[in-house]
């Protein structure tokens, strides 16, 4: 979009993220303790026509539609700092500001997770949808931001569908489950055992369940913690003393305790292979220090991966995501051009509407003037004349309308609008 004329809708994006500001600053500007709806704080500013407020653990942003960028920027920044109890001058170094085309591009990149801490992560799209929904609920999002955000959602979906930016594991817990899928193929009907009940185990459990695992066991040194996590996951809680019986049943074992020494020895695994009838057993050790004796990997039909091997997989996958991100960036550029074309076309709508109203007004006047000489016509004949005059009027203004919509370059649009207005004397209407 060009730096638009005075009547144009302008777009402004003001924010900070994990790269530009420490967490203590982001926390304050997230306005989680603000007494009221944060979006209304920005929407109620005089220069702000529409607004959406995005607040996540990694970024806080205000997206606004306004007529005067400088006024809107100052008003938003002042009210934001006032509500957060921060000094505006001390905040400048942490903020980024995007206007018009750059604002659209940034939003599309955020929605597509191209600007995320973890490239390709899916959570940001849901967070963006929540922010937009809150704005809609209070009437803060109108014609421009409605179109902008729906376009952002479309761009994110297109990139996720047409690229492999999110198809490779880039977290330890996700990579562990992806390795299990490579070993077993389909995980439906398989049994999994988590040894340890910390955050890594919980994340791995969530990925396992998403992959089709329904039979899940959680073994932990503290049974209370195993019970608590099992209730959340629909799993079976066990103590570490029950490891031998659990290993007989499990197909996949993911271990992530904080124990100083191995909790699963090679002797223990050998002892369970006969009752298992030497069925394939897959271990993933994501603990530091390691939970599983490396000698386990020498046992027939047993596979063991440790955290260093997983990191190697993750590095390869990140390189793959970076390649896919280049394709995604091209898609973003393409969709930015399409949105800005739509936005700039809004300038012609009032002129087109006036042109249509002028044509219809002239048609009605001339039709009424002529009808007193055509009083003998029946209803069918009158309807035919109505259709004829309407068709003539529409055809006369068809070419100017198509020219305004598609035939004039964006940089010449203001001149074309002024010319059409003068030719048809639309200013007098």
Last residue of a domain, one of 314, 334, 358: 314
Residue for token digits 């409605």?
146
- Mean pLDDT confidence for 356-369: 89
- What are φ and ψ of residue 154, in 5° steps? -65, -45
Last residue of a domain, one of 314, 339, 358: 314
Give the CA radius of gyration of the chain. Answer: 32
DSSP three-state, residue 399:
helix
Last residue of a domain, one of 127, 162, 197: 162
Q: Specify if 183 maps to a domain.
A: yes
Distance separating alpha carbons of residues 204 and 209, to the nearest angstrom: 9
Q: Are residues 251 and 367 in the same domain?
A: no
Distance separating alpha carbons of residues 351 and 363, to the nearest angstrom: 18
Distance separating alpha carbons of residues 188 and 211, to the nearest angstrom: 8
Q: What is the pLDDT of residue 387?
A: 92
Q: What is the pLDDT of residue 3?
A: 37
- Mean pLDDT confidence for 175-201: 86
Q: Which of 126, 124, 146 is nearest to 135 (CA)?
A: 146
Q: What is the CATH number of the domain that holds 28?
A: 3.30.460.30
Q: Specify if 237 maps to a domain.
A: yes
> pLDDT at residue 8 above 60?
no
By the 10 Å C-beta count (0-12 exposed, 13-18 middle, 19+ buried), 59 is classed as buried
Nearest-10 Cα torsion for 83, 87, 93, 97: 40
280 neighbors 299 (Cβ within 8 angstroms): no
> pLDDT at residue 271 above 80?
yes
Q: Are residues 254 and 364 in the same domain?
A: no
Q: What is the pLDDT of residue 89?
A: 79
Q: Specify if 3 maps to a domain.
A: no
Q: Specify if 341 maps to a domain.
A: no
Q: What is the pLDDT of residue 217?
A: 95
Q: Between the ranges 114-123, 196-205, 271-280, where is the mean pLDDT highest? A: 271-280
Q: What is the CATH number of the domain that holds 297?
A: 3.40.50.720
Give the other-Cβ count within 10 Å of 261's Cβ: 9
Burial pattern 305-316, b for ≥16 Cβ within 10 A else e, equals bbbeebeebbee
Q: In what helix (H) or strand (E) does residue 125 lie, and over which residues does it extend?
A: helix 123-137
Q: Specify if 320 maps to a domain.
A: no
Q: Are residues 299 and 403 in the same domain?
A: no
pTM score of the predicted model: 0.64
Q: Which of 364, 368, 359 is nearest to 423 (CA)?
A: 359
Q: Specify if 236 maps to a domain.
A: yes
Q: Are residues 143 and 181 in the same domain?
A: no
Q: Which of 126, 120, 211 is nearest to 166 (CA)?
A: 120
Structure tokens at 134: 């809150």
Domain count, the chain: 3
65 neighbors 8 (Cβ within 8 angstroms): no
Q: Are residues 153 and 23 in the same domain?
A: yes
Structure tokens at 411: 């940089």
Distance separating alpha carbons of residues 36 and 41, to the nearest angstrom: 8
Catalytic residue among 48, 57, 65, 72: 57
Q: What is the pLDDT of residue 85?
A: 84
Q: Could you give the count of Cα atoms lying within 13 Å of 363 in the half-sphere of its Cβ?
A: 19
Q: In what helix (H) or strand (E) does residue 333 lie, and over which residues does it extend?
A: helix 307-345
Q: Are residues 46 and 70 in the same domain?
A: yes
Structure tokens at 217: 């066991």
Q: Are residues 391 and 283 in the same domain?
A: no
Q: Are residues 254 and 381 in the same domain?
A: no
Distance separating alpha carbons of residues 429 and 57, to the nearest angstrom: 53
Nearest 5°: the CA angle 156, 162, 168 is 85
Q: Are residues 78 and 198 in the same domain?
A: no
Q: Are residues 409 and 282 in the same domain?
A: no
Q: What is the pLDDT of residue 410?
A: 67
State the pLDDT confidence band at 6, using cuts at 50, 70 and 90.
Answer: very low
Give the other-Cβ count within 10 Å of 212's Cβ: 12
> pLDDT at residue 392 above 80?
yes
What's the pLDDT tens digit per position in 101-159?
Answer: 999 999 999 999 899 877 777 788 999 999 999 999 999 999 999 999 999 999 999 99
Q: Which domain holds residue 391?
A: 348-428
Q: Are residues 64 and 128 in the same domain?
A: yes
Task: Average the pLDDT over each of 153-167, 239-253, 401-415 and give the range with the smallest value.
Answer: 401-415
Query: What average pLDDT is seen over the chain?
Result: 87
Q: Are residues 244 and 307 in the same domain?
A: yes
Q: What is the pLDDT of residue 169?
A: 55
18 neighbors 59 (Cβ within 8 angstroms): yes
Q: Specify if 115 maps to a domain.
A: yes
DSSP three-state, residue 96:
strand
The better pLDDT of the pair 2, 420 is held by 420
Q: Specify if 339 maps to a domain.
A: no
> pLDDT at residue 329 above 90?
yes
Active site (annotated) includes residue 57 = yes
Q: What is the pLDDT of residue 220?
A: 94
DSSP three-state, residue 375:
coil
What's the pLDDT tens digit per position in 41-100?
Answer: 888 888 899 999 999 888 999 999 998 999 999 999 998 988 888 888 778 889 999 999
């Amino acid at each position: 979009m060009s730096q638009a004329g005075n009547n144009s809708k302008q777009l402004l994006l003001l924010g900070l993220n994990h790269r530009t500001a420490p967490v203590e600053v982001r926390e304050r500007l997230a306005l989680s303790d603000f007494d009221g709806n944060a979006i209304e704080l920005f929407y109620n500013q005089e220069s702000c026509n529409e607004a959406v407020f995005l607040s996540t653990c990694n970024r806080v942003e205000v997206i606004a539609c306004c007529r005067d960028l400088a006024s809107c920027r100052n008003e938003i920044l002042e009210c934001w700092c006032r509500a957060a109890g921060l000094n505006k001058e001390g905040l400048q170094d942490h903020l980024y500001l995007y206007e018009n085309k750059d604002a659209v591009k940034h939003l599309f990149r955020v929605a597509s997770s191209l600007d995320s801490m973890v490239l390709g992560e899916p959570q940001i799209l849901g967070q963006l949808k929540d922010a937009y929904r809150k704005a809609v609920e209070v009437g803060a999002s109108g014609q421009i931001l409605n179109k902008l955000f729906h376009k952002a959602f479309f761009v994110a979906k297109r990139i996720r569908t047409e690229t492999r930016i999110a198809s490779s594991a880039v977290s330890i817990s996700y990579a562990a489950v992806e390795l299990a899928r490579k070993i077993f193929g389909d995980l439906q009907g398989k049994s999994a055992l988590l040894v340890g009940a910390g955050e890594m185990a919980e994340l791995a459990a969530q990925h396992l369940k998403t992959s089709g695992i329904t039979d899940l066991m959680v073994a932990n040194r503290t049974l209370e913690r195993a019970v608590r996590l099992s209730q959340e996951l629909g799993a079976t809680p066990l103590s570490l003393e029950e490891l031998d019986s659990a290993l007989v049943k499990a197909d996949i074992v993911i271990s992530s305790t904080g124990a100083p020494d191995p909790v699963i020895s090679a002797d223990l695994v050998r002892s369970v292979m006969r009752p298992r009838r030497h069925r394939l057993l897959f271990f993933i050790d994501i603990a530091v220090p390691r939970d599983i004796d490396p000698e386990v990997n020498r046992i027939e039909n047993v596979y063991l991966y440790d955290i260093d091997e997983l990191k190697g997989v993750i590095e390869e996958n990140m390189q793959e995501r970076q390649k896919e991100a280049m394709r995604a960036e091209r898609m973003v550029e393409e969709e930015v051009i399409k949105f800005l074309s739509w936005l700039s076309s809004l300038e012609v709508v009032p002129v087109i509407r006036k042109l249509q109203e002028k044509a219809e007004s002239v048609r009605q006047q001339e039709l009424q003037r002529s009808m007193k000489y055509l009083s003998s016509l029946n209803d069918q004949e009158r309807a035919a004349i109505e259709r004829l005059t309407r068709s003539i009027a529409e055809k006369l203004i068809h070419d100017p309308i198509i020219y305004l919509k598609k035939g004039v370059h964006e940089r010449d649009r203001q001149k074309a609008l002024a010319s059409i207005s003068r030719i048809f004397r639309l200013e007098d209407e």
